Amino acid sequence: MRETASVLLNRILARGKFRHIQVLLKVAELGSVQRAAEQIGMAQPSVTQTLAGLESLLQTTLFERHARGVRPTPACLDLLPVARQLMQGAAEGAEIVFARQDEGASVVRVVASASAMNGILLNTLPALCRASPAIRIQIREAEGDDLLLAMTRGEVDVVVCRRPAVLPDGWSFMPVQDDRLAVICAASHRLAAMRRVTWRIAWRERWLLSPAGSIARQVFDGLCEQAPADVSTHPVVTRSHTLIRRLLDEEGLLGFVPWSFVRDLLDAGAITELPLPGVPPMPGLGVLARHGESRDSALRMLRFLAAIPTTSHRQFE
């Protein structure tokens, strides 16, 4: 007779250890018990014994052995996302306890889109930390559905992003900063020195694309329909801040991205925004927070962000 999930859960609660999860993730990542043992700092027999104990606990084979190491079984692959969440939760819990031990500091868990990270947090976090030194801010970057998933799982206190089409139940959105789409190039690009750039000129250049499904890509694809000929594009499609800067500089490309996403590069003079007319508007950035948020640390951060003057960016005529 097969045991029920409840019986298995009770056995995991009674005998499961975080070390099981750590070993599982590291062996799956490296495909080698020996290399996993070296990275974790355990003896190889101990890692082998820990894996055997976990397989016995779950009554499931997690790895197939072969000549060059191990390979995760389908059951193991199904477990890996859950194991990563458990390790992330353990790490966040350690940070929270550490913050409380450190003169009573409290933690705010923040998730932000890349545009919000570069357009808002990069410039405001230093001042927030100076104003509220007792707050520890845990930040990670996410996009799209991953932002909403973090909210529904209760993994985050504050979300900095664009307003979603549908607000999750129990959450409110506060606008913080306007935004716009920008045509960009390296500061050394020949078009950067031109006082007037037209779309006819720009369409002759090679373009770096944003990922499909992004606002920038959707708008750019629409603009391409007005081009007199097929638009030349680079084979790399990316949202990577580092890659965009390097490719603009070395390949002489033009890019089409949210202004907020490259705000720091524009401020530093590393890239230039070309004054092209008729670029459609885009939604601004803001903050999502739970209704009735009462934790002092989260409230301080929300009040600080609410005090940022909403910047209205000009559109090129």
Give the tens place of pLDDT for each residue, 208-225.
999 988 899 999 999 999
Domain co-membership, 145 together with 218:
no
Where is 209: in which H helix or E strand? strand 206-209
How confident is the model at residue 20, as a pLDDT? Answer: 92
Interatomic CA distance for residues 231 and 57, integer angstroms = 58
Domain co-membership, 164 together with 302:
yes
The pTM score is 0.66
How confident is the model at residue 316, as a pLDDT? Answer: 37
What is the 3-class SS of 95-140, one letter each residue?
HHHHHHHCCCCEEEEEEECHHHHHHHHHHHHHHHHHHCCCEEEEEE
Tell whether 214 is covered by a domain: yes
Note whether 189 and 270 are within 8 A (CB).
Answer: no
pLDDT in tens, 243-281: 999 999 999 999 999 999 999 899 999 999 999 988 888
Domain co-membership, 185 together with 265:
yes
pLDDT in tens, 156-192: 889 999 998 888 888 889 898 899 999 999 999 999 9
Note whether 58 and 16 are within 8 A (CB).
Answer: no
Domain co-membership, 190 together with 253:
yes
CATH code of 270's domain: 3.40.190.10
Residue where a domain stops, chosen among 90, 119, 141: 90
How confident is the model at residue 317, as a pLDDT? Answer: 37
CATH code of 58's domain: 1.10.10.10
Note whether 112 and 95 are within 8 A (CB).
Answer: no
Q: What is the number of residues in the chain?
A: 317
CA 294 to chain centre: 26
* Residue ranges making up the domain that contains 25: 5-90
Domain co-membership, 153 together with 301:
yes
How confident is the model at residue 315, as a pLDDT? Answer: 43
Tell whether 313 is covered by a domain: no
Split at pLDDT 50, 70, 90, the class of 310 is low
Interatomic CA distance for residues 69 and 30, integer angstroms = 9
Instruction: Provide the domain count of the chain.
Output: 3
Q: ∠ at Cα 286 (282, 290), nearest 5°?
A: 135
What is the SS3 assignment for 69? strand
Residue 181's alpha-carbon distances to 7, 38, 149, 262, 278, in angstroms, are: 55, 48, 26, 10, 10
Domain co-membership, 146 together with 295:
yes
